Amino acid sequence: MVNMLQKKIFRDILESRWSFAAVVCICTLGIALFSGLNLYVSTMENNVEGDYQSANLADYWVYKTDVSASDVEKIQTLEDVEFSQRRKLLEVGLSGGINATLRLHAIEGQPKINIPELLEGQLLDGTESKSLLLDSRFAKANGLKSGDTIRFSIGEQQEDWLIKGIIRDAEYIYYAPDGLTVPDYQKYGFAYVNASALPETPYNELILSLIEDTRHTNREIAADLRETLGNVNIIDRQNQPSSSYIADDLEGIKQIGALFPIAFFLIAALVTWITVGRMMENQRQHLGTLRSLGFSKSEIMGRYSFYGILITIPSMLLGWIISRYLAKFLYGLGTIRYTIEENGADTFSVHFFIGAIAVAFVTCGAAFFSCKKSLKSTPSALMRPKPPARGRRILLERIPLFWKNLSFSGKIVTRNLFRNKARMLMGLMGIIGSAALILGGFGMKDSMDAMIDRAFKETMRYDVEIKLKTPMAPEDAAYIYEALDEAQSIEAAMGFGVYIYGGDGGVQNPYLVVMDDNQSSLHFTDSAGLEVALPDNGVLITPRMAKALNAGIGSVVMAERSDGTVIPLEVANIIDFPVGNEIYISRTAFSKVSSLPFTISVLFINGHGLDFSLLDNDPRIALIETKSEMEANMITILKMLESLQMVLIIFSGLLAFAVMMVLGIMNYHERIRELATLKVLGFHQKEMKRLVLRENIWITIFGLPFGVIAGFGLIYMMGAQTTNPDMEISPSISASSIVLGCVLIIVFTVFVNHIMGRKFKSIDMISSLKSVE
């Protein structure tokens, strides 16, 4: 007998297959989004953590002008230290066809910490001179293989070095060098060489790893290190540029991966609740019959909860397939920014099961409870037809002016809307949610465009930037001015990376830029849009820096250079510059706080059609980059964000569509008898559609304004999430995007109505003659 009951449920589903399909669709989307995003995050975390493990990534990076062998020994004796190793850190320029800068780490013997992973060729044996292990991304971007040679220019000399192997390094999973907002693999790379190959360079970097179960806090260890080595610059792993960037990025996706799926699950719960409730309502008599045949309540409830399982199983399967594609897609985008294994995403993460259990719980629960509700009546009451729905006057009718002017069909539609509040709520939520998400997507696009415009059109007023490999005295750079005598203006600036320690232990690693007092290369404005000149005292910082350091106008922060010099900087003003992790100071102000001589490291050039051929192979120049190249680079990296948002928008659109379909189908089935009657009365299809389908249009019109408001909230939230030291997306949305988003939603509604309208043809008039079921 129980099998017959199961059979009946299968047939019931077949009868309401479209509602069933829509619920499955919604649940699938929820599972796919939740497990897809988290699958990506967990794959990334596993891979990155695996890389850290196998490379034995350092826990601390210590910078000091000269790290002696005895320093290393002293560090090694500290109780928490597992390994320590000193390295020579040096940046060299390349010439001979490749215009780029390499960051060299020179080590003695074999690395024990930060062990690079060999991808091609051979490792160094510790004795070779003029041989190196090259960054795989840099090699790929420049078409280099192991066995090739590249030309270094060290000082005035040109030397050919052999690429012995191609490597990947856990320290450089994300590599955007000082003063650069996004990675540029063609122009910046890293390499490992033997310390003996660079005899003149002092050891200036010390890396160390801790024993696994250290009981000391970061602060205590840093204090220990300072006590042993004197005044040094210490970076822990949390603040190391690559690992902190990755952690922040994944944290952002994790938050989206929690927030959005919760919305999906809630909507799925609501829709299942209403759909199953509807099904139960239609099956009152069946339930009554089953009860009078002698089935117990729990048997029937158990069987109907099975409906939830039937929703869950296909949703799990489809959700899993989609989540794999989603994670793969995101991972593919991740490999653009990150130097990670290109093996694609994992197959499973625990989140898939969490999602599936959530869906099972929600759908079985909804089915169980609405069945329980129906079973409360006695079998005989269940077998009698339900009393006709009570018509009710609604509040709006009490406003005669409004009600009298409403057309006849308007009255029907309005009353119907207010009669079934749960359904109206579901429709409104669907519309508000999808409008918010679609506008959120458009808004993010607008905000990014606005950010790029603000950075590259308003703030940056120069055309080309030249970065020097090593700082140059102004008189030594005269030849560059001569080579560019066609330029409208050339402005020199000094820049170097500094570490600023915030109050709560966080470290910021900005680039301090010293510029002419009356420079015109960068046009600074404050948050109100007013122009800000470089002050004679103090520095200009960005709002994100101010927030990270908990600093305001007037506070003084300590900036530490890698050689250990500390420069006190007073915050003079906060400027609205959306890209770059930089602090600006005038030469006059700088001379007041530091005795360092002004040297040139960057040149900002204005002018069109300039001829750079004289400088192209100059060994002293690291980089000549036009503004449009920088912009293109930025856009490439923003693509990742944009794609993630596209995924969210598509999913939300599908969700909206599914909700609208459920709504339309339910409305149709509930009123099929009414529609058949209207048809007998001689209503044309058009007139019937007007009566029934206009409801959806009204829900859309009511919901849209709230959707727009929710959309603004979403843009703010996403903006806050994507802000990091290198860029800040301030929320904005253009009027045309709002209009376009709203039009899209309306088109959606009309499309659903169109599909529903086609069903009107097949209404069977004979059904109006049958008894009320």
Cα dist from 633 to 460, 583, 709, whole Å: 15, 22, 33
Widest CA span in the chain: 103
591: its two tokens: 């001379």
739 or 769: whose CB is closer to another protein? 769
Cα–Cα dist 207/564, whole Å? 16
Out of 70, 395, 408, 762, the residue judged to bind another protein by CB under 8 A: 408
Strands annotated E in 136-292:
149-154, 157-168, 188-194, 205-210, 233-236
Phi–psi pair at 126, nearest 5 degrees: 100, -5
Residue with Cβ nearer another protein (357 or 765): 765
Under rule CB under 8 A, residue 626 binds another protein: no
Helix (H) or strand (E) holding 132: strand 131-135
When asked if residue 682 is in the footprint of another protein (CB under 8 A), the reply is yes
The answer to whether residue 681 forms part of the interface with another protein (CB under 8 A) is yes
Contact flag: residue 281 with another protein (CB under 8 A): no
Q: Tell me which of 294, 387, 503, 609 binds another protein, using CB under 8 A.
A: 387
* Shortest Å, Cβ 681 to another protein: 6
User: DSSP of 478-507, one letter per residue?
Assistant: HHHHHHTTT-SEEEEEEEEEEEEE-TTS-E
**Shortest gap between Cβ of 408 and another protein (angstroms)?**
6
Q: Which is closer to another protein, CB of 360 or CB of 763? A: 763
Of residues 335, 677, 724, 730, which one binds another protein by CB under 8 A? 677
Residue number, 415 or 523, with CB nearest to another protein: 415
Residue 112 or 415 having the CB closest to another protein: 415
Long-range contacts of 149-157 (CB under 8 A, 24+ apart): 150/94, 150/96, 150/98, 151/94, 151/95, 151/96, 151/97, 151/98, 152/92, 152/93, 152/94, 152/95, 152/102, 153/92, 153/93, 153/94, 153/95, 153/469, 153/619, 153/620, 154/92, 156/619
What whole-number distance in Å separates Cα of residue 692 and Cα of residue 701? 16
The nearer residue to another protein, 480 or 678, going by C-beta atoms, is 678
Residues 747-766 that bind another protein (CB under 8 A): 765-766
- Which is nearer to another protein, 224 or 674 (by Cβ)? 674
Number of residues that bind another protein (CB under 8 A): 31
Q: Return the structure tokens found at 190.
A: 């890293």
CB of 288 to another protein, least distance (A): 19
Smallest gap, in angstroms, from Cβ of residue 677 to another protein?
Answer: 4
Q: Token digits for 235?
A: 């970076």
Question: Whole-number minimum distance, CB 418 to another protein, in Å?
Answer: 9
Q: In angstroms, give the least distance from the CB of 336 to another protein.
A: 57
Sole binder of another protein in the list 19, 243, 272, 416 (CB under 8 A): 416
Interaction between residue 297 and another protein (CB under 8 A): no
Helix-helix angle 17-55:297-337, to 10 degrees: 40
Residue with Cβ nearer another protein (282 or 617): 282
Site for another protein contains 412 (CB under 8 A): yes
Choose between 349 and 416: whose C-beta lies nearer to another protein.
Answer: 416
Q: What is the DSSP string of 611-669?
A: --HHHHT-TTEEEEEEHHHHHHHHHHHHHHHHHHHHHHHHHHHHHHHHHHHHHHHHHHH
> Residue from 8, 254, 673, 759 that binds another protein (CB under 8 A)?
673
Interface with another protein (CB under 8 A), residue from 411, 523, 547, 561: 411
Least distance from C-beta 765 to another protein, angstroms?
A: 4
Which residue, 376 or 686, is less far from another protein as judged by CB?
686
Nearest distance in Å: CB 284, another protein: 17
683 makes contact with another protein (CB under 8 A): yes
Binding to another protein by residue 674, rule CB under 8 A?
A: yes
For the CB of residue 409, give the shortest distance to another protein in the complex, in Å. 9
The only residue of 223, 680, 743, 755 in contact with another protein, by rule CB under 8 A: 680
Which of 452, 506, 496, 718 shows the shortest CA–CA distance to 585?
A: 496
Query: Is residue 768 close enough to count as binding another protein by CB under 8 A?
Result: yes
Binding window for another protein (CB under 8 A); candidates: 25-33, 80-88, 424-432, 668-676: 668-676
Q: Which is nearer to another protein, 47 or 414 (CB)?
A: 414
Binding mask 85-124 for another protein (x = CB under 8 A): ----------------------------------------
Selected from 11, 215, 376, 392, the binder of another protein by CB under 8 A is 392
* Footprint on residues 443-482 left by another protein (CB under 8 A): none
Q: What are phi and psi of 699, to 5 degrees?
A: -60, -45
Q: Which of 216, 372, 386, 415 binds another protein (CB under 8 A)?
A: 415
**Residue 422, CA distances (Å) to 374, 426, 428 in order:** 17, 6, 10
- Quick check: 507 and 562 in contact, CB under 8 A? no
- On the CB side of 670, how many CA atoms lie within 13 Å of its CA? 21
Among 389, 401, 528, 735, binds another protein (CB under 8 A): 389
Structure tokens at 598: 């002004």
Q: What single-letter amino acid sits at 735? A: A
For another protein, the closer of residues 372 and 411 by Cβ is 411
Q: Which stretch binds another protein (CB under 8 A): 88-96, 179-187, 590-598, 669-677?
A: 669-677
**Nearer CB in complex with another protein: 143/408:** 408
Closer of 456 and 760 to another protein (Cβ): 760
Rounded to whole angstroms, the Cα distance separating 156 from 470 reads 12
- Residue number, 266 or 672, with CB nearest to another protein: 672
- Report the relative pairing of strands 60-63 and 511-515 from DSSP bridges: unpaired
Residue 162's beta-bridge partner residues? 131, 149
Q: Token pair for residue 231? A: 């005044």
**Angle 674-675-681 (CA atoms, 0-180°, nearest 5)?**
90
**Going by DSSP bridges, is the β-strand pair 556-561/489-501 parallel, antiparallel, or unpaired?**
antiparallel
- The stretch near another protein (CB under 8 A) out of 360-368, 458-466, 543-551, 683-691 is 683-691
Among the residue ranges 333-341, 535-543, 608-616, 674-682, the one whose residues contact another protein (CB under 8 A): 674-682
Token representation of residue 257: 């991966």
Q: Find tokens 């100059």 and name the residue.
A: 618
Chain centroid, CA 640 distance in Å: 7
Query: What residue ranges bind another protein (CB under 8 A)?
Result: 387-392, 408, 411-412, 415-416, 419, 673-674, 676-684, 687, 765-766, 768-772
